[in-house]
């Protein structure tokens, strides 16, 4: 009791007041609890789905799994493009006791440069401790073996294998297959626009050229996914589900790698290209451009030095001459021009002209000369092709005019894309009045028509275009689409667990055929090509002497440098890059052609098509036919009886 | 009937002699036990934290038991000197306090480091209850004003540390006494008005930038989802994704995969909601309601104005913890550091709360003490 003041308390009144206030407070507590509960109710019931989704997106990540790229085989099942493991050395910092010491030891063991070590320590700083960091990106087999033996000493350091593209034939197939290289920004944008970037989320490389690029969608396959649970650091806690990727389709090409090897050997030391095709299908048997380069260099990212070397090489190895180089076709197109003359009724098989060794347009001083100074005398169409008589074709071209020529040549596919299944293709040039007007804004000169008559002037062709045109010729107008892809095969896994390869041959619809008014004209021209090879003294007889498969063909030598009036050509005094190109087209056997070949060789030192290009075509055909002996049943040419009295002092052009 | 009645009387007296209020103890033990299970889940099933929590539960129960033995009369006697001592310590904290986590809360006496603000959570209601129970209830306006000043002194000293959560709890403990003492409604109205007028001053002069940031974040957490808004967003995701039935104990992905921050301390309610769902929340809130009801029952049945006011204030302050914590983790209130009482990991605040329950038990069991 306080002595200072005495309070007389009304206990019951106080108790009542307190009870009232307590009750109010209690009501407040209940109200607040209801508010809290109402709020939790809103979160857990009304917004449940929203928060469940957000909770899942917090913890569930889809890790993309790259599909294995389809393999590429040649027509006989030889592997041309493989996926080969590349070994890298990776470190997970948190699993290593003493990172510095371990890295030093491993580097000493595997002889890893200080440069790579510094790079490693730099990138380690940027990464989380449980994420792998690369110490070496391409270990040699020896390094892999050496490390594997010592692996137990270095927990947290391991060898990781990734599949990368490998081309076992290196430069032999690069121009056809192209190559796969790292997806760059441009590729990524393109994929984005096509809506394909999701499918490439885990993919390292993309086809950059050739078959690899053209059939990218077939080869790539479909991405798989690993659904994992992660924590707030991004560390994978466990795998929730796995959707395996679907591997890309394997491709079988029409190429025959052995023929391809022969082509390379035949062209070694030369600049040029060979295309060999099966005229029955349009399937390309060999297509080789020399010099070539190793596509494997690009798979791992080519060094600036090496790339510069390729870019700056005078021999232009990056150019696929088979489809990208436009060569003057020269005399190889004479059979097609002869056919045009027959079709337009300018000449008949028996029409003859007199060849004095030169041709002159009326009223003009220019003399157009034959390759043989004193001329061939009286020549008909067959003899004109056999001897590659320029005068005959000057006259023919003059009488046909450029428009009729270019219209017919368009139908053979000159001056247009062949439609081959690689993207690197050049249209080359089939000149016409309209073309010259558009290109040079000049009118057409008759003299140019004469040059066109011997496959010169503005006219250029790719070796593939020549092959295609010859195919149409030997097929009597039936046109095939040149192609490299023969079939694809896909791994099918049935729900029962059975797996098998489903092989789908690719069917190429033939193009609208080239129809002549008189079908007998085909044979006139083809027979002339046959005798060009088979007749003693004809321009292509020598290089095919002794061959057993009844070949036919036509030579050509193209002027690269324009000669002045009266000037004589001499390879020895002409600078290397202005020397003549040697051309040759051929097919065999005559009755039922199985192979057509076109050869172009640049700037030959001596001779022309017959001495330089025809032997190359022969090597291809020898390889193709092997020991087969084929004789023509259609005609029985007595090879010993012949009328050729002259031997060429200079190569036919 | 008689024998069972006697039996009942007898057990009642045993607990009475021990000065333990059984219903209150049961409620408290339920919450403490839940705390153990949740800390185990929230700490990624580490037992170390469970042992630590169990140890401080032991200490707290012992403290509660000791305090329960002291007749409430004693607090009344010592109210003024202890309050003055407390204020001096708060000033001491501001002058020589130990800095931790950006705030000055700890006083280092050489042999022990402690938070004077924690003790003030008990001293302030004792002091105010003593002060207003000097006279007949309802309180006069002059007494209310003086009482307010007495509350404001420690509140401001603690807010200056800065420790917004504790100063809030201390202010409410004093205000509850004044309210329960029958301050007139008109006066309450005026005070609410004054308090609202005080808000801009608080914002402009007293709040630290980080506290302002918390308020801004509270108003719009999505503004900075990976920075200041991260806590509250992850907490709401945890609660919301629990749904009605919850993901199950130890199955909460937000907590187990560590997306939720401060899982075992301030945000333990989010762990609970995620794993036990709306059903669990209803049960937990019921337990809290039960404890509050028991506390208020003790207050109403206390025999003296001082004990009534003290018991009422302690109980309501306990509820403020519940309200502020759940309100902040579910996005109703800005984030202030107030734990979920008895459940959160953290010894200091739990010991204080348990000492408060000791006082409640003393009030409940020491029926016949002299005024």
Q: Give A45's contacts in chain B (Cβ within 8 Å).
A: 243-244, 278
Interface of B with A in 310-339 (CB under 8 A): 312, 316, 319, 322-323, 326-327, 330-332
pLDDT over threshold 50, residue A210? yes
The answer, yes or no, to whether residue A373 has pLDDT greater than 60, is yes
Q: Are B257 and B306 members of one domain?
A: yes
Asked if A51 lies within 8 A of B305 by C-beta distance, the reply is no
- For chain A, domains (ranges, CATH) are 63-253 (3.90.1310.10), 320-488+522-625 (3.40.710.10)
Which positions in chain B touch A231 (Cβ < 8 Å)?
Answer: 257-259
Quick one: pLDDT band at residue A357, thresholds 50, 70, 90?
A: confident
- Residue B296 sits at the chain A interface (C-beta within 8 Å): yes
- Region A21-34: mean pLDDT is 95
User: Is the pLDDT score of B3 beyond 60?
Assistant: no
B82, burial (CB in 10 Å: exposed 0-12, middle 13-18, buried 19+): middle
Start-to-end CA distance of chain B, whole Å, equals 36
pLDDT tens-digit profile of B201-248?
777 777 777 777 777 777 777 777 776 678 889 999 999 999 999 999
Pick A412 or A632 by higher pLDDT. Answer: A412
pLDDT tens for B59-101 read 999 999 999 999 988 888 899 999 999 999 888 888 877 666 5
- Tokens 């393109």 belong to A190
Give how far Cα B337 sits from Cα of A108, B166, B262, Å: 54, 8, 11
Range of weakest confidence among A371-375, B146-150, B280-284, B347-351: A371-375
User: Could you tell me if residue B49 is inside a domain?
Assistant: yes
Judge whether B159 lies within some domain: yes
Domain count, chain B: 2
Spatial separation of the C-alpha atoms in residues A70 and A250, rounded to whole Å: 4
Contact B332 A9 (CB under 8 A): no
Closest CA to B254 of A166, A321, A58: A58
Which residues of chain B does A56 touch, with a Cβ-Cβ cutoff of 8 Å?
241, 253
Give the pLDDT confidence of A212-269 residue by residue, as tens digits.
Answer: 999 999 999 999 999 998 888 778 888 899 988 999 999 999 999 999 999 999 999 9
CB–CB of A444/A458 below 8 Å? no
- B341 and B286, same domain (yes or no): yes
Cα A586 from Cα A598, distance rounded (Å): 7
Interface contact B179-A25, CB threshold 8 A: yes
Nearest C-alpha of chain B: how many angstroms from A237?
8
Q: Six-digit token pair at B160?
A: 């200056």
Residue B88 and residue B58 share a domain? no
pLDDT at A650: 46
Task: Give A620: exposed, middle or buried? Use CB within 10 Å, 0-12, 13-18, 19+.
Answer: buried
Question: Does the beta carbon of B31 lie under 8 angstroms from any beta carbon of chain A?
Answer: no
Question: In the beta sheet, which residues pair with residue A598?
Answer: A275, A585
pLDDT at A481 over 60: yes
* Residue B8 domain flag: no
CA-based radius of gyration for chain A: 38
Q: Among B207, B230, B251, identify where a domain stops.
A: B207
In a shared domain, residues B237 and B151: no
- Report the sign of the C-alpha dihedral through residues B340, B342, B346, B351, in that order: positive
Banded pLDDT at A80 (limits 50, 70, 90) = very high
Give the pLDDT band of residue A412 (cuts 50, 70, 90).
very high
Q: Which residue blocks in B220-304 are alpha helix, DSSP H?
A: 230-242, 253-256, 268-301
Q: Are residues B60 and B92 in the same domain?
A: no
User: Which phi and psi (to 5°) does residue A619 adopt?
Assistant: -60, -40
Residue B11 lies in a domain: no
Q: What is the pLDDT of residue A3?
A: 47
- pLDDT score at B10: 59
Q: Please tell me which of the candidates B135, B240, B293 has its beta carbon nearest to residue A44.
A: B240
Q: Based on the domain organization, do B94 and B162 belong to the same domain?
A: yes
How many whole angstroms separate alpha carbon B91 and alpha carbon B97? 9
A381 or A640, higher pLDDT: A381
Contact A127, A173 (CB under 8 A): no
pLDDT of residue A5: 53
Stretch B12-21: mean pLDDT? 84
Residues B149 and B273 in one domain: no
Identify the band that residue B136 occupies on the pLDDT scale cut at 50, 70 and 90. confident
Whether residue A331 lies in the annotated active site = yes
Nearest-by-CA chain B residue for A237: B257
Domain boundary among B172, B207, B242: B207
Once rounded to an integer, what is the mean pLDDT over residues A419-432?
94
Query: Would B37 be classed as within a structural domain?
Result: yes
Per-residue pLDDT, averaged over B273-289, amounts to 96
> Rounded to an integer, what distance in angstroms lies between the CA atom of residue B73 and that of residue B115?
26
pLDDT, average across residues B127-151: 88
**Same domain assignment for residues B357 and B234:** yes
Give the number of C-alpha atoms closer than 13 A to the C-alpha of residue A98, restricted to the C-beta side.
7
Q: A176: buried, middle or exposed (CB in 10 Å: 19+, 13-18, 0-12)?
A: buried
Neighbouring CB atoms inside 10 A of B187's CB total 17
Q: Which of B288, B299, B371 sits opposite A22 (nearest CB)?
A: B299
Q: Contact at 8 Å (CB) between B318 and B295? A: yes
Most A CBs within 10 A among B44, B241, B295, B313, hence the mutation to make, goes to B241
Q: What distance lies between CA A176 and its chain's CA centroid?
A: 4
Residue A642 pLDDT grade (very low, low, confident, very high; cuts 50, 70, 90): very low
Please give the ipTM for the structure prediction: 0.92
Query: Does one domain contain both B196 and B261?
Result: no
Average of per-residue pLDDT across A319-331: 93
Quick: pLDDT tens for A274-301.
999 999 999 999 999 989 999 999 988 8
**pLDDT tens by residue, A99-114:** 888 888 899 888 888 8
- What six digits make up the tokens of A623? 């390889």
Residues of chain A neighbouring B280 (CB-CB closer than 8 A): none
Residues of chain A contacting B285 with CB distance shorter than 8 Å: 33, 36-37
Tokens (6 digits) for B178: 């004044």
Q: Is the dihedral of CA A123, A242, A231, B330 positive or negative?
A: positive
Of the partner residues A40, A50, A55, the one whose CB lies closest to the CB of residue B273 = A40
- Is residue A649 predicted with pLDDT exceeding 50? no
pLDDT for residue B108? 67
Measured between beta carbons, which residues in chain A are less than 8 angstroms from residue B237?
A: 51, 54-55, 58
- Are residue B364 and residue B323 in the same domain, yes or no? yes
Q: Would the pLDDT of A430 be above 90? A: yes
**Position B141 in a domain:** yes
- Given a cut of 90, whether residue A172 has pLDDT beyond it is yes
pLDDT of amino acid A530: 94
Residue B315: give the domain boundaries. 29-69+221-371
Q: How far is Cα B371 from Cα B369, in angstroms, rounded to an integer?
A: 7
Q: Give the largest CA-CA distance in chain B.
A: 68
What's the mean per-residue pLDDT of chain B? 87
Residue numbers in A near B184 (CB within 8 A): none
pLDDT band per the 50, 70, 90 thresholds, residue A639: very low
Whether residue B226 sits in one domain with residue B136:
no
Interface size, chain A vs chain B, as Cβ–Cβ contacts under 8 Å: 142
pLDDT at residue B371, rounded to an integer: 40
Task: Examine residue B51 and state whether it is found in any structural domain, yes or no.
Answer: yes
Residue among A21, A35, A56 whose CB faces B180 most closely = A21
Q: CA torsion angle for B298, B300, B304, B306 (degrees, to 10)?
A: 80
* A651: pLDDT strictly greater than 60: no
Question: Please, which residues bridge with residue B104 across strands?
Answer: B99
Residues shown for chain A: 653
Q: In A264-370, at which residue ranges do the beta strands (DSSP E only) sit? A: 272-278, 283-290, 353-355, 358-360, 367-369
Is residue B252 located within the same domain as residue B146?
Answer: no
Average pLDDT score, chain A:
88
Q: Domain for residue B199, yes or no?
A: yes
A29 touching B, CB under 8 A?
yes
Mean pLDDT of B14-33: 92
The DSSP call for residue B226 is: T
Give chain B's length: 371
CB proximity list for A264: less than 8 A, separation 6 or greater:
A172, A288, A290, A292
State how far the Cα of A387 lies from the Cα of A393, in Å rounded to an integer: 11
Least CB-CB distance to A33: which of B182, B289, B299?
Answer: B289
Interface of B with A in 191-210 (CB under 8 A): none
- The domain boundary residue, chosen from B173, B207, B241: B207
Beta bridge partners of A158: A90
pLDDT of residue B367: 67
Alpha-carbon gap: A481 to the closest alpha carbon of chain B (Å)? 59
Q: Is A646 on the interface with B (CB under 8 A)?
A: no
Query: Range with the lowest mean pLDDT among A538-547, B8-17, B170-179, B324-333?
Result: B8-17
């Amino acid at each position: 009791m306080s002595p200072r003041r005495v309070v007389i308390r009304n206990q019951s009144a106080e108790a009542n007041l307190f009870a009232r206030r307590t009750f109010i407070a209690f009501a407040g507590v209940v109200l607040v609890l209801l508010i809290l509960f109402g709020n939790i109710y809103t979160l857990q019931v009304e917004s449940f789905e929203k928060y469940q989704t957000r909770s899942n997106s917090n913890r569930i990540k889809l890790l993309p799994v790259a599909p294995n790229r389809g393999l590429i085989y040649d027509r006989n099942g030889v592997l041309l493009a493989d996926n080969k493991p590349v070994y890298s050395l990776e470190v997970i910092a948190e699993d290593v006791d003493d990172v510095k010491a371990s890295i030093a030891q491993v580097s000493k063991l595997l002889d890893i440069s200080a440069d790579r070590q510094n790079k490693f320590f730099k990138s380690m700083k940027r990464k989380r401790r449980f994420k792998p960091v690369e110490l070496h990106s391409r270990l040699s087999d020896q390094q892999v073996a050496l490390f594997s033996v010592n692996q137990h000493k270095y927990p947290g350091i391991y060898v990781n294998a990734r599949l990368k593209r490998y081309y076992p034939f290196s430069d032999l197939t690069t121009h056809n297959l192209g190559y796969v290289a790292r997806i760059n920004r441009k590729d990524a944008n393109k994929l984005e626009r096509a809506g394909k970037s999701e499918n490439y989320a885990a993919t390292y490389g993309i086809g950059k050229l050739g078959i690899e690029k053209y059939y990218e969608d077939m080869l790539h396959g479909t991405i798989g996914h690993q659904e994992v649970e992660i924590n707030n650091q991004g560390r994978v806690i466990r795998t929730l589900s796995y959707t395996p990727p679907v591997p890309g389709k394997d491709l079988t090409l029409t190429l025959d790698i052995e023929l391809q090897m022969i082509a390379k050997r035949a062209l070694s030391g030369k600049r040029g290209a060979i295309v060999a095709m099966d005229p029955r299908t349009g399937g390309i048997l060999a297509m080789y451009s020399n010099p070539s380069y190793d596509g494997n260099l690009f798979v791992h990212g080519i060094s600036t030095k090496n790339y510069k070397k390729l870019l700056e090489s005078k021999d232009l190895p990056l150019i696929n001459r088979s489809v990208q180089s436009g060569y003057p076709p020269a005399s190889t197109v004479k059979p097609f021009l002869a056919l045009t003359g027959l079709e337009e009724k300018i000449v008949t098989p028996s029409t003859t002209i007199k060849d004095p060794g030169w041709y002159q347009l009326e009223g003009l001083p220019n003399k157009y000369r034959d390759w043989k100074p004193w001329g061939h005398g009286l020549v008909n169409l067959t003899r004109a092709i056999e001897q590659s008589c320029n005068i005959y074709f000057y006259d023919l071209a003059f009488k046909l005019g450029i428009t009729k020529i270019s219209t017919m040549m368009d139908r053979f596919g000159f001056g247009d894309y062949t439609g081959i299944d690689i993207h690197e293709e050049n249209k080359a040039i089939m000149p016409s009045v309209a073309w010259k007007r558009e290109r040079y804004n000049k009118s057409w000169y008759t003299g140019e028509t004469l040059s066109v008559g011997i496959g010169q002037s503005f006219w250029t062709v790719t070796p593939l275009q020549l092959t295609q045109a010859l195919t149409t010729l030997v097929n009597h107008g039936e046109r095939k689409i040149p192609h490299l892809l023969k079939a694809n095969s896909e791994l099918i896994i049935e729900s029962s667990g059975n797996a098998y390869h489903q092989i789908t041959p690719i069917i190429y619809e033939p193009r609208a055929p080239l129809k002549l008014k008189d079908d007998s004209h085909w044979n006139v021209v083809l027979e002339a090509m046959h005798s060009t090879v088979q007749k003693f003294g004809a321009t292509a007889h020598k290089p095919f002497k002794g061959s057993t498969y009844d070949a036919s063909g036509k030579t050509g030598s193209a002027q690269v440098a324009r000669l002045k009036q009266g000037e004589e050509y001499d390879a020895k005094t002409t600078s290397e890059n202005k020397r003549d190109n040697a051309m040759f087209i051929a097919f065999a056997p005559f009755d039922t052609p199985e192979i057509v070949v076109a050869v172009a060789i640049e700037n030959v030192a001596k001779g022309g098509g017959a001495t330089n290009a025809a032997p190359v075509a022969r090597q291809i055909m020898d390889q193709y036919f092997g020991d087969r002996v084929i004789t023509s049943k259609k005609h029985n040419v007595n090879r010993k009886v012949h009328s050729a009295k002259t031997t060429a002092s200079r190569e036919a052009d | 009937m008689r024998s069972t009645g006697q039996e009942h009387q007898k057990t009642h007296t045993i607990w009475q002699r021990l000065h333990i209020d059984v219903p209150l103890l049961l409620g408290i033990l339920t919450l403490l036990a839940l705390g153990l299970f949740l800390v185990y889940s929230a700490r990624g099933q580490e037992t170390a934290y469970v042992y630590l929590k169990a140890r401080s539960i032991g200490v707290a129960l012992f403290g509660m038991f000791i305090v329960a033995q002291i007749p409430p009369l004693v607090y009344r006697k010592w109210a003024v000197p202890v309050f003055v001592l407390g204020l001096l310590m708060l000033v001491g904290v501001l002058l020589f306090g130990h800095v931790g986590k950006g705030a000055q809360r700890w006083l280092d006496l050489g042999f022990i480091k402690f938070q004077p603000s924690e003790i003030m959570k008990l001293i302030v209601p004792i002091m105010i209850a003593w002060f207003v129970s000097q006279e007949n209830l309802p309180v006069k306006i002059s007494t209310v004003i003086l009482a307010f000043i007495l509350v404001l002194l420690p509140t401001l000293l603690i807010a200056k540390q800065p420790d917004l959560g504790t100063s809030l709890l201390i202010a409410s403990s004093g205000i509850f006494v004044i309210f329960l003492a029958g301050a007139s409604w008109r006066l309450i109205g005026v005070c609410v008005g004054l308090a609202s007028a005080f808000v801009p001053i608080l914002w402009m002069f007293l709040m630290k930038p980080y506290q302002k940031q918390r308020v801004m974040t509270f108003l719009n957490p999505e503004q900075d989802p990976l920075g200041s808004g991260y806590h509250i967003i992850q907490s709401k995701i945890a609660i919301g994704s629990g749904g009605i039935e919850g993901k199950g104990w130890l199955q909460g992905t937000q907590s187990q995969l560590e997306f939720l921050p401060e899982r075992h301390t301030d945000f333990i309610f989010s762990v609970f909601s995620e794993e036990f769902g709306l059903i669990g929340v209803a049960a937990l809130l019921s337990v809290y309601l039960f404890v509050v009801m028991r506390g208020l029952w003790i207050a109403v049945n206390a025999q003296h104005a001082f004990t009534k006011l003290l018991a009422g204030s302690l109980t309501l302050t306990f509820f403020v913890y519940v309200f502020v914590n759940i309100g902040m983790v579910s996005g109703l209130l800005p984030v202030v550091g107030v734990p979920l009482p008895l459940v959160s990991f953290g010894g200091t605040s739990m010991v204080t709360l348990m000492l408060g329950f000791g006082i409640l038990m003393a009030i409940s069991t020491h029926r016949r003490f002299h005024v």
